[in-house]
A and B are shown apart, each in its own frame.
Chain A
């Protein structure tokens, strides 16, 4: 029971209170870049959830069973980014072979994920926060969910913005930033939430 409560608290923290995009400023490039349509936002979101969970799993194992025993923690950044890059590549190949339909939906987003700082960010955070294996995986999953949530919300707003009458100078990026600011204001209301 206590474990469940802990998992619940972690989910709330990762999705709302410490939302990766709005509160931690991680993964902003895809947040601004792939949020013009709800469909593509959903595709990107799914791909990110998948890769973040996988990345959390493998980087935790590499840190605990390779870097720490060999006392080469200083290679963390290189090891993690290479793990993520190969993981993305592997996932791309596997999906392409086994699920062509899924590949069609996610394919274009996968290469972009390597340079999504939310993925490397969650991997490093898991280590810094000294999470156990299970919690590291869950943190990856929840952080991905939080990312997808705000990405889809943003896409919904931007689909409407396309039709709004805006001053020419504010169209596109500038207004996207202002919208993000308003969303961050709303998410600020979650901070301090504790269970």
Chain B
């Protein structure tokens, strides 16, 4: 009995010491990790909507904040949101910058693990740049009658991205068109 108590005690000591060391290291790596994640998102937002100087959260989509960007004069510069849908073998997440007239300003794929060499080519700038200036109605793959040229051999990935953006644009239009008259009304009252 005493022997087994000793065994348990030794194991306990080892585990407690290990946990203590890990807690200490976690104490200074955790803030860095959080800061990195925040920065990565912020940089992606700035990249897809460079005109904006400040961002205000206006809604939620795919558990991510939808932002309205304002330029230096305080005018609406556009919106950013994260589009997300399941592609060929993974969730494809894209940061989208939208102009005030609901056209795509720029997109950036922020998360994907599609097939290397095929679907994973969606991260290439040549592919991403074709989305610029397109609105909701043409945001379909060429095979579905839209204007998005799919990656060779990866129609599913391309379709996923186009569809996720279209859904996001639609959502954005709905919330913004609804709230706009209200805003005008509010401004009239204050003036």
- A contact set with B: CB distance below 8 Å: 17-18, 72, 74-75, 78, 82, 191-192, 194
Q: Which of A74, A75, A82, A192 contacts B88 (CB 8 A)?
A: A192
A17 to B89, CA, bound (A): 9
Count of residues in B whose CB is under 8 Å from the partner chain:
12
CB–CB B156/A192 < 8 A = yes
22 A-B contact pairs sorted by A residue (CB < 8 Å): A17-B89, A18-B89, A72-B19, A72-B23, A74-B22, A74-B23, A74-B26, A74-B30, A75-B19, A75-B22, A78-B15, A78-B18, A78-B19, A78-B22, A82-B15, A191-B88, A191-B89, A191-B115, A192-B88, A192-B89, A192-B156, A194-B86
Apart from A74-B22, A74-B30, 7 more pairs, CB < 8 Å:
A17-B89, A78-B19, A191-B88, A191-B89, A191-B115, A192-B88, A192-B89
Of the candidates B18, B26, B86, the one having the most CB atoms from chain A within 10 angstroms of its own CB is B26
A73 to B86, CA, bound (A): 27
A75 to B15, CA, bound (A): 10
8 closest A-B pairs by CB: A74-B26, A192-B88, A74-B22, A191-B89, A75-B19, A192-B156, A75-B22, A78-B18
A29 to B73, CA, bound (A): 63
